[in-house]
Amino acid sequence: MHQNIGRDRSLTIRMAFTFLMLFFVYLLFIGVLIALGVPFMFTLGFAIVMSIFQYYGSDKLVLMATKAKVVTNKEEPALHEIIERLSLIAEIPKPKKIAVMDSHVPNAFATGRNPKNSVVAVTKGLMSKLNKKELEAVIAHELSHIKNRDVMVLTWSSVIVIMAGYLLQMMVFMSIFGGFGGHRRNNDSGQLGMIIMVAFAVTILVYFISQILIMALSRYREFSADLGGAYLTGEPLHLASALTKISSDMNRIPEKDMRQIEHASAFFIIPAIKSNTVAKLFSSHPKVEDRIKKLNDIQKNLDSRKFSNYEPPYKNFRQKK
Amino acid sequence: MSLLTKILGRKNNAQKNRENYFSIIQAYQELQSNTQLKFGDVAGLLVNKENLEFLNTQENNPFFKATNTETLPNSSFSIEKDDHSTNWVIIHGENFPQIVERIHFAGEKITDQGFGDLILAAVFCVEYNSKKTYIIFNVKSAQFHPLVLEDEKTRDNMQEINLGTLLGSEKIPIEKNLELWHPLWGIPF
What DSSP letter does each residue of A246-291 carry, written as one string?
HHSGGGGS--S-HHHHHHHGGG--GGGS---HHHHHT-SS--HHHH
Instruction: Please state which of the ranges A80-89, A216-225, B136-145 shows the lowest mean pLDDT.
Output: A216-225
Q: How many domains does chain A have?
A: 1
d(CA A250, nearest CA chain B) in Å: 6
Q: Report pLDDT for B60.
A: 55
Q: Compute CA distances B75 → A162, B44, B63, B91, whole Å.
A: 69, 13, 8, 7
Percentage above 70 pLDDT, chain A: 58
pLDDT at A159 over 80: no
- pLDDT tens for A218-246 read 777 888 889 889 989 998 989 988 888 87
State how far the Cα of B117 lies from the Cα of A102, in Å rounded to an integer. Answer: 34
Q: What's the DSSP call for residue A122?
A: E
Please check whether residue B46 touches A, CB under 8 A. yes
Residue A270: pLDDT band (50, 70, 90) is very low
> What band does A262 get if pLDDT is binned at 50, 70 and 90?
low
Q: Span B63-84, mean pLDDT?
A: 64
- Confidence (pLDDT) at A175: 62
Give the pLDDT of residue A178: 55
B181 and A259 in contact by Cβ < 8 A?
no
Asked whether residue A318 is domain-assigned, the answer is: no
Helix pair A9-35, A150-177: axis angle to 10 deg: 30
Q: Find the mean pLDDT for residues B142-166.
A: 89
Sign of the dihedral defined by the CA atoms of residues B126, B131, B132, B138, in that order: negative
- Reported as a pLDDT band with limits 50, 70 and 90, residue A69 is very high
- Give backbone dihedrals phi and psi of A305, rounded to 5 degrees, phi first: -75, -25
Q: Residues B120-138: what's their mean pLDDT? A: 94
A311 is a catalytic site residue: no
pLDDT for res B28: 92
Which residues of B are less than 8 Å from A251 in CB distance? 157
Q: Which domain holds residue A176?
A: 3-250+273-305
Per the CB < 8 A criterion, the answer to whether B125 and B134 are in contact is yes
Q: Between A77 and A5, name the one with better pLDDT.
A: A77
Q: What integer pLDDT is reported at residue B132 of this predicted model?
A: 95
**Alpha-carbon dihedral A183, A185, A191, A197, rounded to 10 degrees:** -10
Please state the ipTM of this predicted complex: 0.84
Q: Of A80, A59, A77, A64, whose CA–CA distance to A151 is shortest?
A: A59
Q: What is the pLDDT of residue A2?
A: 43
Distances (CA, A) of A76 to A57, A79, A81: 25, 6, 9
**Chain A residues in contact with B46 (beta carbon < 8 A):** 258-259
How far off is chain B from A291, nearest CA to CA, in Å? 23
CA–CA separation, A139 and A119 (whole Å)? 12
Per the domain annotation, does A34 fall within a domain?
yes
Residue that wins the pLDDT comparison between A2 and B124? B124
Confidence of residue A63 (pLDDT cuts 50, 70, 90): confident
Q: CA–CA separation, A147 vs A83, rounded Å? A: 13
* Cβ–Cβ < 8 Å for A65, A101: no
pLDDT at B6 over 70: no
Q: Looking at the predicted structure, is the pLDDT value of residue B117 above 80?
A: yes
- What is the mean pLDDT of the segment spanning B13-36? 88
Pairing between strand A3-4 and A108-111?
antiparallel
* pLDDT at site A275: 39
Minimal-distance CA residue of chain B relative to A262: B120
Pick from A209-223, B97-111, B140-154 the range whose average pLDDT is largest.
B140-154
pTM of the entire structure?
A: 0.56
Strand partners, B155: B149
Task: Kindly state the DSSP code that residue B47 receives in the 8-state scheme.
Answer: E
Mode of pairing for the β-strands spanning B131-138 and B143-151: antiparallel
Cα A29 to Cα A46, A135, A170: the distances in Å are 10, 43, 12
* pLDDT for A265: 38
pLDDT at A48 over 50: yes
A252–chain B Cβ distance below 8 A for any pair: yes
pLDDT higher at A8 or B57: B57
**B136 contacts A259? CB cut-off 8 A:** no
Query: Given this model, what pLDDT does residue A276 score?
Result: 43
pLDDT at position B83, please?
Answer: 82
Q: Where residue A272 falls among pLDDT bands split at 50, 70, 90?
A: very low
Does pLDDT of A59 surpass 90? no
Taking residues B30-47, what's their average pLDDT?
90
Q: Does B143 touch chain A (CB under 8 A)?
A: no
Residue A98 has pLDDT above 50, yes or no: yes
Is A25 a domain residue? Answer: yes
From chain A, pick out residues whose CB is under 8 angstroms from the CB of B158.
250
Question: What percent of chain B lies above the pLDDT cut of 90?
Answer: 31
Residue type, A305: R
Distance from CA of B140 to the nearest CA of A (A): 10
Which pLDDT value is given to residue A4? Answer: 46
Computed over every residue of chain A, the mean pLDDT equals: 73
pLDDT of residue A317: 44
pLDDT at B69 over 50: no
Report pLDDT digits (tens) over A182-218: 444 455 666 767 767 776 677 777 677 777 777 777 7
Q: What pLDDT, on a 0 to 100 scale, did the predictor assign at position B105?
A: 84
Q: What is the mean pLDDT of residues A55-59?
A: 74
- Quick one: pLDDT band at residue A36, thresholds 50, 70, 90? low
- Would the pLDDT of B1 be above 60? no
Report if residue A291 sits inside a domain.
yes
Pick from B182, B184, B185, B187 the residue to mutate for testing the A interface (most A CBs within 10 Å).
B182
Most confident of A17-26, B19-28, B75-84: B19-28
